[in-house]
Amino acid sequence: MKKAVFYHAGCPVCMDAEQMMLGYLDKSKTDLEIVHFGEDASRISEAESVGVKSVPALVIGEDVYHINFGASMEDVKNG
Amino acid sequence: MKKAVFYHAGCPVCMDAEQMMLGYLDKSKTDLEIVHFGEDASRISEAESVGVKSVPALVIGEDVYHINFGASMEDVKNG
């Protein structure tokens, strides 16, 4: 089972993408963690270190998938 | 079961995202069709009509998720 982390910041685009992840990501193949920067800002540097440039973003293993565009990481940090 | 269509144009970013979709999208909840514009250019107008602005993109029902950025639809049409 591969670790997957969905990073978001609570924006409308983020919430839409979160519903997609919760609804359609295969739970038998991924252990999905949802990280909301508004609730845990300490995870921002972790996300940047793995290559997250904007939210919402899904990280599976070492692969980063930016989904649509809610906010840049700069906006998140200044937010 | 919801119909899902993954549109792409064969670019490296597209192929990475295709592997993610094939690997991690829940097949019990989505009926996934893969559309490669290089093999079926007649689907380009369909994709644009549902709101696809760039590839790779995943459409589930009426929701469009642009994943990373491989190419704009303009590039695809001129491609």
Residue A79 has pLDDT above 90, yes or no: no
The ipTM is 0.92
- What's the whole-number average pLDDT of chain B? 96
- Which chain B residues have a beta carbon less than 8 Å from that of A60? 20, 24
CA nearest neighbour of A71 among A60, A47, A49, B74? A47
Model confidence pLDDT, tens digit, residues A65-78: 999 999 999 999 98
Average pLDDT rounded to a whole number, residues B17-23? 96
- Dihedral, CA atoms, B30, B43, B54, A35, nearest 10 degrees? 0
Cα angle: A79, vertex A37, B51; to 5 degrees: 80
Percent of chain B with pLDDT over 70: 100
Phi, psi of A10 (to 5 degrees): 80, 0
As a whole number, mean pLDDT of residues A33-54 equals 97
**In which domain, by residue range, is B55 found?**
2-78
Q: Count the domains in chain B.
A: 1
Nearest to B24 among A23, A25, A64 (CB): A25
> Is it the case that residue B39 has pLDDT exceeding 90?
yes
pLDDT bin (cut points 50, 70, 90) of residue B2 is very high
pLDDT tens digits, one per residue of B54-65: 999 999 999 999
Q: What is the chain A residue with the closest CA to B19?
A: A63
A42-69 burial, b for 16+ CB within 10 Å, e for fewer?
A: ebbeebeeeebebbbbbbbeebbbbbbe
Cβ–Cβ gap B27/A26 under 8 Å: yes
Mean of pLDDT over chain A: 96
Cis peptide before A12 (omega within 30 of 0): no
User: What proportion of chain B, given as a percentage, has pLDDT over 90?
Assistant: 96
pLDDT value of residue A67? 98
CATH number assigned to the domain comprising residue B30 = 3.40.30.10
Contact indicator for B57, B6 with CB cutoff of 8 Å: yes
Mean pLDDT of A19-39: 96
- Biggest alpha carbon distance in chain B? 36
Is the predicted pLDDT of residue B49 greater than 80, yes or no? yes
- A4, A20, A64 ranked by CB distance to B63: nearest: A20
